[in-house]
Structure 1
């Protein structure tokens, strides 16, 4: 992973934008494996899984930021009071995103909760970008996002007769909004010249500090077995630590609006793994949605010229 000096995006079509999109797509693919891996520890509660990912991943990200050549970036973040409020807001957004998502899934089902959370995040990020005047919504982004959200809905909802709980829908929308807030804050700090590792380390480090009592309280005994320890290490170190490092690096050159749309690759990966590993079946509607989702993401990452 490159740890060079952060670079601002340029008006030309350059490998930087393509590289940033690739980093975010790889991160989304890692996140897409969590649902399948989660099935191997049925005794663990959703809250315990969420707390584990934040605490272990946050500690790893914080240690990487503090113990590498980029430690100066972490000190700079902490030294400037103007950064304290966005860092605190970003850490809280991480916690709300995780907690609200799992609560929504428990009330209205995983399918609907995932569709509403992941589908609303790009729209919320676009609105935040307009409000903060940090981005503009292009026709290409609107087309690709609409196609990706539609494909996501068809993929996850195809063939399922799940009911919608109003409170669960509200929690899923809160989760999507919180994820958009985190992405916007991280993107703002990174594109303003802060080290990407320092930013993600500080945000997740603060979130880990808050969530440690929750992890200890919510029966973490499932992590004491050899298989449980390996799964915990994968969920915390690989999908959270590695995934969010890639996501932060991608935010150097990829607008937050585009980044949240690219993360819709997560349910596509989850669906493919469900077929291969869990022997799940996708009907025609879900397969159509998968194709539409992939096509929309390809439209979004294809190089453009100005």
Structure 2
């Protein structure tokens, strides 16, 4: 297998701007849970497929001039484009199904905690990327913070986990729901790995001379077409409530245009200057934003342990955003 050259260290200023761009993307992604709260009985799978599908197609449309300019390079890496697109397709399906089966908190924690670990392993295997002690410290703080937030969360309104529902039924139903929860955890791991994989592939495409918009646009364009033509349309037929009310339609369009379109434009910009392992670690900002919005808008409550987790995540992010020499 051909190895990929080691990552080069970006200038401190561009590295900080890239980190801030990823944090901005994570901020937008953190609004999706609160937005989905206002959906009326809409399948999260349908919402995710539509949002990622439309967002991906729009990214490809905006990046048309860049894709045209880099078409030769994109075609030369068509195998990676296809692999990355498959990962983009799998990610929302696995992530939203994980939350449906295991619960919002567990599904989110597993996915977000898995992503930076997977990114680091993939970079080490395929790019011989050297991780610094500060990265390991940030990872430990971030994962501990996310777990504390999950344990400190109380009351996802109207979103009981399958296991909780099974406790009031017979033992067989409880066992079935436990299996569903385990399946949700497995899907959360898959979501984290695929998220890390397509982030790394996009980064490698940029290192190969492909413009950031062309790299992200090609990956998300192919995936978006697949989602819309396949699962997206089938879910619209099977679950037409996605656009049954003005509120539902507004949520679907918001998630497609803001978190999935604008958010991934910012994420692609960030990947130009920072490693995928650092980018995925910075996205730990997402559950912090989601929790704060859930408290202030949805009316949920977080125990002191959850607030302590937020502090640990904040420390993790400060360590990662701070300019460091020879960080790569």
Which TM-score applies when normalising by structure 1?
Answer: 0.90
Check whether the contact 1:77–1:198 (CA below 8 A) recurs between aligned residues. no
Match runs of 1:1-306 below 5 Å: 11=9, 13-66=11-64, 68=65, 70-80=66-76, 83-159=77-153, 165-212=181-228, 213-218=230-235, 219-223=239-243, 225-306=245-326
**Residue in structure 1 matched with residue 172 of structure 2 by the alignment:** none
CA distance 1:54–1:11, shift in 2 (3 Å): closer
Deviations 1:8-55 (A, max 9, x none): 986475210000000000000000000000111122211111111122
1:79 Cα deviation after fit: 3.3
CA distance in 2 between counterparts of 1:11 and 1:200 reads 21
Where does structure 2 lack aligned partners over 5 or more consecutive residues? 1-5, 156-160, 164-177
1:61 Cα deviation after fit: 0.4
Indicate the RMSD between aligned Cα atoms, in angstroms: 2.0
Check whether the contact 1:100–1:175 (CA below 8 A) recurs between aligned residues. yes
Determine helix, strand or coil for the equivalent of 1:277: helix
Where does structure 1 lack aligned partners over 5 or more consecutive residues? 1-7
Which TM-score applies when normalising by structure 2?
Answer: 0.85
CA distance in 1 between counterparts of 2:128 and 2:199 reads 12
What is the number of equivalent residue pairs in this alignment?
295
CA distance 1:197–1:260, shift in 2 (3 Å): same
CA distance in 1 between counterparts of 2:60 and 2:310 reads 36
